[in-house]
Amino acid sequence: MNRSLNLQKLQEGEFDLLIIGGGITGTGIALDAQTRGLKTALVEMQDFASGTSSRSTKLIHGGLRYLKKFEFGLVAEVGRERAVVHRSAPHLVHPDKMLLPLLKGGQNGRTLLGIGLKIYDWLAGVTGLDRRRMLNRKETLAVEPLLSNNRVEGAGFYAEYRTDDSRLVISVAKTAAANGAVLANYVKAGEFIYLNDQVRGIKATDVLTGEELLIRAKWVVNAAGPWVDDVRGYDGGDSRPLVRLTKGVHVVVDKSKLPLAHPVYFDSPDGRMIFAIPRGEVVYLGTTDTAFEGDVKNPTITRADAEYILAAANDMFPSAALQLADIESGWAGLRPLIGEAGKPLRELSRKEEIFESPHGLITIAGGKLTGYRKMAEKVVDRVLLRSNLPAKKCQTGHIKLVGGEFENYVEVNEFIEELQSEFGRFADQQECRYLVHNYGREAHAILLEAEKLAMESSEAIATAEAIYAVENEMTESVLDFFERRTGRLNFRIKSIPKVRDGVLRVLADRLKWSEGRFIQENSLLDKALLRVVEWRDK
Ligand code: FAD
């Protein structure tokens, strides 16, 4: 993951496959293709995971909504996939029990939910203690006393997996790179290069320097998420849009304001489903689902979005009485849905589709974080079907992501304990857990580095993380670090004032920033910290 070296490599010779877009779809394809033996490259115009892939609900989930539509095949595929994604990185994709309350007059009846969750577990191969339990009213309120006392009649209590979406993307990218793929962030694909009327590469721009690059490849895949139609536009021809965008917003409150023990998946008053998910010292809530037109790079949270989510939360957890002022941070993401003209947004399919242009440009759109590995397999299969490139069968079903060399979640917890006993005087259980959930086995190296620094422990850990992020994870800016490598901007926001100077010094030093760039990066962080307050005060 050495960017300047990779910029050189991108311009040498011809790749078998070049991918445009470094979200979960693009990095997943890079990992699949490279591990099958294809010489693979990837360019991302912003930072990895800057698009939708850092703005999701952060669940690797089996799609209960498909069950409601009786799409059993899809539930089984996505359900099995949860387990595969968990095995590939047990530190990053971990099991958690989700509570789905049954309400008086609500959408879900007890019998139907019970059968539905049983089928859900069965299709997804969930076994043992992870299997769903149906709780009565008393048991439900014992698990979650904050639920509306006079409306709850019971609940389904079932297994889901939680993740950190941008860390998943970075881990997949690192694993692709460790297997030989050449990836670079801040490289924007522009026009295509053609040979005999077929796409054979791209002209690209290094966004950080303005330098032009020519990257040659036998096949090019467009995995540009909400930008897939822009990239198709560079290829000319059919200009009809493939995707329609909807916006989904999440807001974050301090856990003291909504002290949930488990994630809860509940009905909002207008019948949509909302998640409330505890994570560390905060709880995040979402999502909305509204038509979007505007700046695709920077979708924002409006006051109406926040009020909608808070109204739903207060309806379900009345004693919390959440207010706008309780919101500490949040994010907005865009769903690129395959857009059948005239169909209401809510009814558009979330399933991925693969398209091929007359010039051989392959575009993948739609899909879920959860299904990224299968999506990648399908895209690479398509490339192989259309070419005579020699390649192995898909390998990713048994590949561990970098840092994820654990058999299961029990081993992850044992590793957290080992770190605690080795670094206990220095890092408490919460810090060790945070590091292991972010970096897996690599957490050990970060703690060794932190121990060497003559600083107070939380500052030393953040500084060691910054060193690691620059040396191993192609971190180029302060927001790459606080937003996507560490999630601190949304989840550990209170720690930022304490660690920002140390982190900025490391980044400036290692990335050789001029004084002007240092001032600019400082103000970018200030602006990001102010973002929430700005809309709240409007
Ligand atoms: P993106 O992550 O947007 O990546 C596309 C990338 O292409 C971007 O980084 C962009 O910068 C880059 N790009 C664009 N143009 C160019 C160019 N010209 N040159 C170079 N690079 C370019 N799924 C789940 O499984 N679980 C969930 O809990 C979940 N929750 C969600 C909640 C919300 C609110 C939303 C919106 C989605 C959610 N999803 C969830 C779906 C999931 O997040 C997306 O399917 C997935 O992140 C899409 O990834 P992607 O790589 O296709 O797109």
DSSP state of 300: -
Q: Which ligand 1 atom lies nearest to the CA of residue 46?
A: 11
Cα separation, 27 vs 365, in Å, equals: 14
- Ligand 1 pocket test: pick from 54, 227, 229 the residue with the most ligand atoms within 8 Å of its Cβ: 227
Ligand 1 site, residue 365, Cβ cutoff 6 A: no
Q: What is the pLDDT along the chain (538 residues), one digit of tens a residue?
A: 999 999 999 999 999 999 999 999 999 999 999 999 999 999 999 999 999 999 999 999 877 777 777 777 777 788 889 889 999 999 999 989 999 999 887 777 788 788 888 887 887 778 887 889 999 999 999 999 999 888 999 999 999 999 999 999 999 999 999 999 999 999 999 999 999 999 999 999 999 999 999 999 999 999 999 999 999 999 986 778 889 999 999 999 999 999 999 999 998 988 889 999 999 899 999 999 999 999 999 999 999 999 999 999 999 999 999 999 999 999 999 999 987 777 777 777 778 899 999 999 999 999 999 999 999 999 999 999 999 899 999 999 999 999 999 999 999 999 999 999 999 988 999 999 999 999 999 999 999 999 999 899 899 999 999 999 999 999 999 999 999 999 999 998 888 999 999 999 999 999 999 999 999 999 999 999 887 666 666 5
Q: Which ligand 1 atom lies nearest to the CA of residue 187?
A: 20
Which class for 530: exposed (0-12), middle (13-18), buried (19 or more C-beta within 10 A)?
exposed
pLDDT value, residue 538: 59
Tokens at 422, concatenated? 């080795």
Residues forming beta bridges with residue 205, ordered by sequence position: 188, 212
Q: Which ligand 1 atom lies nearest to the CA of residue 225?
A: 53
Q: Could you tell me the distance, in angstroms and rounded to a whole number, from the CA of residue 89 to the centre of ligand 1?
A: 20
Ligand 1 site, residue 335, Cβ cutoff 6 A: yes
Residue by residue, DSSP assigns 217-284 as EEEEEE--GGGHHHHHHHT-S--S--EEEEEEEEEEEETTTS--SS-EEEE-TTS-EEEEEEETTEEE
The set of long-range contacts for 379-386, using a CB threshold of 8 Å and a minimum separation of 24, is 379/29, 379/32, 379/221, 379/223, 379/354, 380/17, 380/29, 380/32, 380/33, 380/36, 380/38, 382/354, 382/356, 383/17, 383/33, 383/38, 383/219, 383/221, 386/219, 386/356, 386/360
pLDDT value, residue 534: 65
Cα separation, 234 vs 241, in Å, equals: 13
- Give the number of C-alpha atoms closer than 13 A to the C-alpha of residue 171, restricted to the C-beta side: 29
pLDDT value, residue 537: 62
* Amino acid sitting at position 473: E
Cα separation, 402 vs 88, in Å, equals: 9
Report the chain's terminal Cα–Cα distance, integer Å. 41
Cα separation, 179 vs 414, in Å, equals: 28
Q: Could you tell me the distance, in angstroms and rounded to a whole number, from the CA of residue 173 to the centre of ligand 1?
A: 14
Residues forming beta bridges with residue 216, ordered by sequence position: 14, 201
Q: Could you tell me the distance, in angstroms and rounded to a whole number, from the CA of residue 7 to the centre of ligand 1?
A: 24
Distance of CA 414 to the CA centre of its chain: 26
For the full predicted model, state whether its pTM sits above 0.75.
yes
Contacts of 212 (CB under 8 A, 6+ apart): 203, 204, 205, 206
Ligand 1 site, residue 246, Cβ cutoff 6 A: no
Ligand 1 site, residue 121, Cβ cutoff 6 A: no
Ligand 1 site, residue 44, Cβ cutoff 6 A: yes
Ligand 1 site, residue 20, Cβ cutoff 6 A: yes
The torsion of the CA quartet 136, 140, 141, 145, rounded to 10 degrees, works out to: -170
Ligand 1 site, residue 53, Cβ cutoff 6 A: yes
pLDDT value, residue 72: 76
Q: Could you tell me the distance, in angstroms and rounded to a whole number, from the CA of residue 24 to the centre of ligand 1?
A: 7
